[in-house]
Structure 1
């Protein structure tokens, strides 16, 4: 580092250069935590911000090359820990942090991890599988909750009030603490489709930290993969966990979940009574319509007077016979006229018919007609009333 005599004034750039040469080698690696403020995301991909605590503030930058490793976007008010180095920006003479990695701290870190898990499961379609339904009267209901918890008592109370005959199988599980995740996953593995038509999984209300087992990835995946429909009833109505999103139905409380899974026997009996009454009314109306229809059929003229049916056929037969007779007589008359005409034509062609008017014809001994005077010496002259031989 170049020293400058205090007796001689130095330029700003020289002084800033001395500061830079002093600070940067001494703070090549720093690890600092604080609250983000003034966060700006530049279109180039760089992040600019300030890191502060109760009494101090430090400007900083996260360049694009390091920002690609961020698991979450930076936001004002977020508490983070950053690794990087200190540098002096000569143009402004500002000391600033050049961050390389960023980690969220406290509740913010938990929230960010939950958001990241939600995005991952959402992208995989865990929350978007077709929601299943269960029978109106299930043959059995599995209840996964703490054995001595209020949720169990609430569910059993609702089941006893609504329909005591439906079997409830308690599959006890720890619902908070370090063992809760494994316990819930194992409990879901004991669900048997042959015995259970639907599953209620949940617990009573509690602090947000007490519900974290129901945000665990293993539990969420086990709920989504359950062989029977799942009703999630975690915490109070205002609480929402990832298990609620993966389940086939979400209930605001364990009691509400029991009301969804178990039918109300009194309501079923009332529905049966109403359905029976509707059936009786419909059956009576159907019988009445059927009787009316048969009465109309029985009163039909063709039933009361069957001769009407034959009358129609008789009239059609008589008209047919009449048409046949007329056609036959017409045909016979036409044939008679044709024969008479033919007889007239034949008679006109008879050579002997002209002899009656004074004509005669001559034939030789062979009976051939003679047409010349020199044809033969002996001929026969034929008149209308006889034949006379002639010798020349």
Structure 2
């Protein structure tokens, strides 16, 4: 195919197909350019549920899309984020499905690492080696908590957001706040002491620790060893909710559950109270499990395909199909959200129809209900009455008593 692409003259009756052209360009780029180091700023970073990293690297005048497969990024010692200057090693590849080139990253490291970041990485490595991050040690969260302890600042936006979400989702919840400083000297010691006090108290189902976003220095108390060991020693489940979604702290790795934000923590620890929403959520989970099985089946097919005889670049083909699956997964999630919204509209419509059929609404349109005074029975025909019978008239608002003068069939 590459030889055909390189021909200076090509008969018009032998045109290339789009697939042939793309494959030829892919071969020229991937075979013609050796692996190299590249530096730039990360933007549009996305950590997909498949584990892959998708992002762009840019400088003042240009940018290039990048991908780092889950097998490559699993051992990174830092979390990439938008705006971070990095140095990466890899090669140029072509994503044939969309016909564009991208940089496949094999290695990544920060372009410049400060003292706090180095301290963070060293403590993270040491605690990981000691087993503080082990999944076997993590405790499950109760499905229906009744009392929740919160360790945070009493004046920050985080506590207001958490209380608002908890009250909206699970109104019966009891919230116990242990106020602490969340930045500055002595903050780490206060957080650790608060966790010890909640464990001694023992009358809560779980504890949320956290704060809103800030700089690495602002979030540093949650990177202190004393806080990490207090979380590890806690008999109560601990949820870490520090900063924004892109922020990671040592407490996130030690805690039984990491939430991207304080508001997200509140969403994750209590269920939704409304029965209709629980039903829709159950349907959504069933759809998700079905999708997961489909994706697993496709991945197994891709694995068999990648290991088949005659494949020139089996790993490359697997990556191409995996990226396509990620796109389909995203589109299906959007479709499921649309179905969920339609169900809500249908339920609201049925509710309004039931209201329109209420007997109270019929009375408001000028109709009345007639009852016999002596027996209290409902009168549906004039033949049920005799002159001088006492009757009671029921209106939409109030009632009246009357005497029958005469009747007509």
TM-score scaled by length of structure 2: 0.39
Greater Rg by CA: 1
